[in-house]
Structure 1
Amino acid sequence: MLHNKKGAIFALTAFSVTASLTLPAQANVVASLKPVGFIAAAIADGVTPVDVLLPDGASEHDYSLRPSDAKRLKNADLVVWVGPEMEAFMAKSAAELPAQKNLAMVNIDGVKPLLISGSEDEDEHTAEKSEEQDADAHHHHHVAFN
Structure 2
Amino acid sequence: MFWRLFLTFWIAIFSLTSMAIAKPVEVVATIKPIHSFLSALMKGAGEPILLMKDVTPYDYSPSPEDQALLKRADLVVWMGPELEKSVAEILTPEIKDYEMLSDTEFKVLPDRKIDNLRDPYMWLDVRNAEVFLDSLYEKIVTLDPKNEKIFKKNRNTLKYKITALDRKFEFGFRGIAAGISWMYHDTHQYFEQSYAFKSLGFLSEHPSENAQTANIFKMRAALNNFDKICFFVEEGLSQKNMSLAINKEQVQVGTLKSFGLSLPAGPDLYVDMMQYNYDTIANCYASIGAKYRGAKPLNKIAQ
Q: 1:47 corresponds to which residue? A: 45
Query: 1:36, 1:80 within 8 Å by CA — same for their partners in 2?
Result: yes
Deviations 1:108-129 (A, max 9, x none): 112423829742628971239x
Consecutive aligned runs of 4 or more in structure 1 exceeding 6 Å deviation: 132-137
Within 1, Cα distance between the matches of 2:87 and 2:49? 15
Q: Distance in 1 between matches of 2:107 and 2:67?
A: 26
* TM-score where L is the length of structure 2: 0.31
**CA separation in 2, counterparts of 1:43 and 1:97?**
27
Q: CA deviation at 1:45?
A: 3.3
Q: Which structure would you say has the larger RCO, counting Cα contacts within 8 Å and 6 or more residues apart?
A: 1
Partner of 1:34 in structure 2?
32
> Please, what is the CA RMSD of the aligned residues?
3.5
Q: How does 1:1-16 map to 2 (within 5 A)?
A: none
Highest Rg: 1 or 2?
A: 2
Q: Which of 86, 89, 92 is the aligned partner of 2:83?
A: 86
Aligned length: 109
Give CA deviations for 1:15-71 in whole Å, capped at 9, x if unaligned: xxxxxxxxx98211111112111111222233221010113x322102111111000
Residue 112 (1) aligns with residue 112 (2): no
Q: Normalized per residue, which structure has more helix?
A: 1
Match of 1:127 in 2: 200
Contact 2:71/2:94 (8 A) holds in 1: no
Supply the AA of the counterpart residue of 2:27.
V
| Worse overlay, 65-74 or 109-118 | 109-118
Q: Structure 1 stretches of 5 or more lacking a match?
A: 1-23, 138-146
Aligned residues of 1:25 and 1:48 also touching (Cα < 8 A): no
